[in-house]
Amino acid sequence: MNVIVIGANGQIGQHVVNELHQSNTHTVTAVVRKKEQAEKLMNRNIQAIVADLEGSVEDLEKVITGADAIIFIAGSGGHTGPDKTLLIDLDGAVKTMEAAKQAGVERYIMVSAYDADKRQNWNEGMRPYYVAKHYADRMLEASGLNYTIVRPGGLVNEPAICKITVGAEAKPSTITREDVAHTLIAALENKQTYHRSFNVVNGEHSIETALNNLN
Q: Give catalytic residues, as residue numbers.
A: 129
91 CB burial (10 A radius; 0-12, 13-18, 19+): middle
In whole angstroms, give the CA distance from residue 72 to residue 110. Answer: 5
Q: Are 160 and 178 in contact (CB under 8 A)?
A: yes
Q: 46-50 — which CB contacts under 8 Å span 24+ positions?
A: 46/17, 46/21, 48/8
Q: How many CB atoms lie within 10 A of CB 40?
A: 15
SS3 139: helix
Q: Using CA atoms, how far apart are residues 147 and 89, in angstroms rounded to an integer? A: 17
Compute how many other C-beta atoms are within 10 angstroms of the C-beta atom of residue 175.
26
